[in-house]
Structure 1
Amino acid sequence: MGKALNEKGQVYRNRNAWKVFSGIIKEMKPSKIFIITDENTHTHCLDYLFEKEKFKITPEIIIIPEGEIHKNISTCVKVWETLSEKGADRNSLIINLGGGVVTDLGGFVASTFKRGLPFINIPTSLLGMVDASVGGKNGVDLGPIKNQIGVINLPEMVLIDTEFLNTLPKEHITSGLAEMLKHGIIYSKEYWERVKNIDVCNKLEFEVLIWDSIEIKKEIVALDPSEKKLRKTLNYGHTLGHAIESYFLESPDKKILLHGEAVAAGIVLATFISMETYGFSKQSLRDISKTIFKYFPKQTFSKKDIEAIIKLLVFDKKNRNGQVLFVLMEDIGQHRTDCIVSNELIYSAFDYYKNF
């Protein structure tokens, strides 16, 4: 997939990826190497990285706490301070080894420390591979509000090795699956049909689908890198999904949801709204809902919960002039961006979700 070694943001996979990784480090001759991990990837993934790459200079390891709740500026401050104490300069290299939280936060830290250090992303979760790995979005949450602070800046490369998936608990595999299902809905009926019947135990088939998902995102981002129109389709299900995720994150009586669990609910809600607004087929809505509920447990939303979730919509990054803008579908593979949706319709969508 990659061409020249210096073409930033390229995604490489498996054996070839490690060769490119070694080549880039050799070419860069970094003064120091820093590896950012969280507690889980430090335990389960670091040894494999050292098995694959014999570093000439011993990397410094920076461990951040695990989980979305720590994807914030105070974690960044600690990492910036560590980089400063350990003498990181503009010729240092940062390697982000972890899921979407590590690559999002690590990319942001690298992009802002001393006005920008080079970094490499090695996503270790399915979500990190099929979603966070492509497009150069880096950032952190502001309180419970998702990804409010950030930059778009490409890594030197992205290294995909599906061996890392063997370290994941089942719910983290399922969480990444939500983004793959979303790619199917926004891209084509052909990919949707393949991904909805995914067998994660069939390693070969699973790898092909992961790579196809990465290619879909890559194609969309290449056509619209600064998210003027087409790239917004990647937010399908995310307008309500992010609001649900933020609400569960800040509510002491709610179990924190994984990103994919919140997005899965958001996909069902957005697809119902698409049916009501643009005549998306009832049969396809049923098919999508059935598929989502096959993989994701149904969440419970009271009227008070829904009110609070609707209030959180004002923070969505796609909003313009105070209007909340949704991505909706006319059909699988046929999208509409910048759609205004009434609160009444959002309540009906939650009603559909509850009673499906």
Structure 2
Amino acid sequence: MQSITTSTYAVHFNQRAYDALNVHLSNKAYSKIFILVDENTHEHCLPSFMGQIQGDYNFEIIEIESGEENKNIDTCTGVWEALSELDGDRKSLVINLGGGVLTDLGGFVASTFKRGIDFINIPTTLLSMVDASVGGKTGVDLGPLKNQIGVINQPEMVLIVTSFLKTLEERQLRSGFAEMLKHGLIQNKAYWEALKEVTNFLYIDDLIYDSVVIKNEVVLQDPTEQHLRKILNYGHTLGHAIESYFLESKTHKTLLHGEAIGIGMILEAYLSKELLGLSDTELADIKSTFLSLYEKVSFSKEDITTILSLLKFDKKNSHGNINFVLISAIGKPDIDIIIPDELYENAFAYYAEQ
């Protein structure tokens, strides 16, 4: 596959990714190269990655704990301290080998260590390949609140090696697939239809490529999310609130990102019907598609009340308004939509219907 060029770097795929990395490392003469991993990528991804490195370099491995619950400033502090203790300097490189939690956190750590050092992202999950690979968003959560602390800063390159998908459980693959479905809903109905035909998530290289292209085309037009880039948040306003709530809940099973935004996309499709005229046919298609992939979740009135209270922390909000991305049809988004309060419970009721 051909590399995809963003505004400042390239996304390389499979063997081309390793070739580009080896050229980059030989040209840059980094003082030290740090590889950030979690316990899963340390075991399942690092050995094959190291086997592709050509040349003799000074590598240091830093391991963090996996999981959204560890995407916080405390983890950053541990990594910053490790970088300092291992003599990291401004000519060092951080290679982030992991999923979206790790690349978000690792990019933020690199962007702030000694006021910024180079980093390379190697996403190892389907979610991070199609979502975190483009756009330069880095950051961590503030308690249960998603991505409240961070900066937009671009990596040196992104390397997508799809063989890493074989290390994932089916649930993780399905979670990542939700972001691909979102790309269809906000930009390309034909792509949405093609995704609905997928039965095996391990052999979708071309569709992964298409998702990266779709996101890149949006980001190129609006790199700092002033206008168009907001469409990438479809399903995420309610989805992030649901994800945050379940992350902190003592009585509910934690939801993966894609599972939560899948619910968010159904809820926001209902709101789209009410406010922008999304057709009943497309609304039903969206609901049935997500429910065929993700287990249905039950919400009590108390759950819904708490989830809605979290909406005020959404990053798209401004001037006291909760701003939604909705769709008037599949592939046709609209931004900065204000939702009448009475529609929220109706949306959850629609989700709960058989």
What TM-score range do you get, normalising by the shorter chain? over 0.9
TM-aligned CA deviation for residue 52 of structure 1: 1.2
In structure 2, the CA distance between the partners of 1:227 and 1:33, relative to structure 1 (3 Å rule), is same
TM-aligned CA deviation for residue 202 of structure 1: 6.8
Kept in 2, the 8 Å contact 1:7–1:156? The answer is no
In structure 2, the CA distance between the partners of 1:92 and 1:334, relative to structure 1 (3 Å rule), is same
| Structure 1 position 281 matched with structure 2 position 288 | no
- Off by >6 Å, runs of 4+ in structure 1: none
Partner of 1:257: 255
TM-aligned CA deviation for residue 7 of structure 1: 7.3
CA distance in 2, matches of 1:55, 1:308: 54
Partner of 1:25: 25
TM-aligned CA deviation for residue 58 of structure 1: 3.5
Partner of 2:112: 112
| Structure 1 position 244 matched with structure 2 position 242 | yes
TM-score, normalised relative to structure 1: 0.97
The residue type paired with residue 76 of structure 1 is: C
TM-aligned CA deviation for residue 343 of structure 1: 2.3
CA distance in 1, matches of 2:137, 2:202: 31
TM-aligned CA deviation for residue 138 of structure 1: 0.3
Partner of 2:353: 355
CA distance in 2, matches of 1:52, 1:27: 17
Q: Deviations over 1:189-239 (max 9, x none)?
A: 111110122122672xx1111110111001110111011111100000000
Partner of 1:95: 95
CA distance in 1, matches of 2:9, 2:144: 29
RMSD between aligned residues: 1.4
CA distance in 2, matches of 1:84, 1:2: 34
Q: Deviations over 1:270-290 (max 9, x none)?
A: 000000111101101111111
| Structure 1 position 185 matched with structure 2 position 223 | no
The residue type paired with residue 320 of structure 1 is: S
CA distance in 1, matches of 2:43, 2:202: 26
Relative to structure 2, which stretch is displaced further, 47-56 or 29-38? 47-56
TM-score, normalised relative to structure 2: 0.97
TM-aligned CA deviation for residue 2 of structure 1: 4.3
CA distance in 2, matches of 1:201, 1:309: 31
CA distance in 1, matches of 2:56, 2:255: 40
Q: Secondary structure at the match of 2:139?
A: strand
TM-aligned CA deviation for residue 305 of structure 1: 0.4
| Structure 1 position 134 matched with structure 2 position 122 | no
Q: Deviations over 1:52-72 (max 9, x none)?
A: 113512411110001000000
Kept in 1, the 8 Å contact 2:166–2:202? The answer is no
Counterparts in 2 of 1:179-328, with a 5 A limit?
179-200=179-200, 203=203, 206-328=204-326
CA distance in 2, matches of 1:146, 1:199: 31
